[in-house]
Amino acid sequence: MKAIVVQEDQPGRPLVWQDVPDPECGPDDVLVNVHATALNRADLMQRAGGYPVPPGASQILGLEMAGTIAGWGSRVLGWQKGNRVRALLTGGGYAEQVVLPARMLIAMPDDKDFIWGAALPEAVLTAYLNLFMEAGLQDGETVLIHGGASGVGTYGIQMARLAGCRVLVTAGSEAKLAACRELGADLAVNYKEEDFAERIRSHLGGAEVDVVMDMVGGPYLERNMGLLRTYGRLVIISTLGGAEASIHLGHLMRPRLRLIGSVLRPRSVDEKVAIMKSFKRRFLGNLLDGSLKPIIDSVYPVVRAEEAQAHMAANRNIGKVMLQVRD
């Protein structure tokens, strides 16, 4: 088969569509012909050498996909060739085929296309996991979502609004702020032009935030903590702005804050299945009726993965950047 391969020995680590060995099914695995996959920030970090691949995972980029079943292992039951599916992956999405545990498959609705299916698994589950399972976001609470125009952010805004929460976001351009407001954000702050913490305090008029979901890391830590009410929760899902920070522990202890670090990719299949089931109970109906939907920024042929990643690296995307692998 063909796949996108990072040329690690070349300047800039270019991405090349080339022949690679076909994946092999284990007894509990399914082989899927990939029709579409999606970019995530983790792909850029892995390409740069800053995101170690979990043990046993494919070295090929790509954490989510949609496609059709092509084969399965000896212990797999209930699927047929050609069944349309989507799935969360530990790697391998930027390829013509991928192997994954059968338990990770989700059937595709007949009225949805593969771009829709591939835009969901990693981003929507990351937002759901961290807002509702890790941070325990409750109906009616106030939540701050950094990176509101990202794939994770756009899902987070929608789900928080569906839960009846007041939603505050940060983003870096007027177009992104407008997109966040259209999705339901009550306040959208341009972090490049003003101090988000000061603007939020002014907007809330002395009230505080219940939950913060942050992907920036170190530079935002003190300001995030300063916005939280007593028993507030800060969940850090990435460190795009830096992984180191110095804090006064009293600022964590006195208001009894919870500081949570969370990553989805290295979790076990059992954990991921539990997350998927929890999401299904809470939001599947919204997904099927369109009140929760993927925001698609752009679709590139997989052979233009280099261009697609450059688009994301420049922070130009609003929502998901997709790769079309086959029609």
**Cα radius of gyration rounded to whole Å, the chain:** 20
Check whether 306 has a pLDDT greater than 90: yes
Provide the whole-model pTM: 0.96
As a CATH number, domain 123-261 is 3.40.50.720
The answer on pLDDT for 112 being more than 90 is: yes
| Among 264, 229, 322, 228, residue whose Cα is nearest residue 127 | 264
Residue 322 has pLDDT above 90, yes or no: yes
Predicted confidence (pLDDT) per residue in 167-187, tens digit:
999 999 999 999 999 999 999
The CATH architecture to which 2-120+294-324 belongs is: Alpha-Beta Complex (3.90)
pLDDT in tens, 119-170: 999 999 999 999 999 999 999 999 999 999 999 999 999 999 999 999 999 9
Three-class SS state of 194: coil
Per domain, the residue ranges of the chain are 2-120+294-324, 123-261
In the chain, which ranges are continuous DSSP H helix? 41-47, 114-118, 121-128, 151-162, 174-183, 196-204, 221-227, 249-253, 269-289, 305-313
Percent pLDDT > 90 in the chain is: 93
Question: Quick one: pLDDT at residue 313?
Answer: 97
In this chain, the answer to whether the domains covering 2-120+294-324 and 123-261 adopt an identical fold is no
Average pLDDT over residues 16-28: 98
Q: How far apart are CA 274 and CA 264, in angstroms?
A: 12
Alpha-carbon distance 322 to 308, whole Å?
Answer: 8
Instruction: Give pLDDT, residue 248.
Output: 83
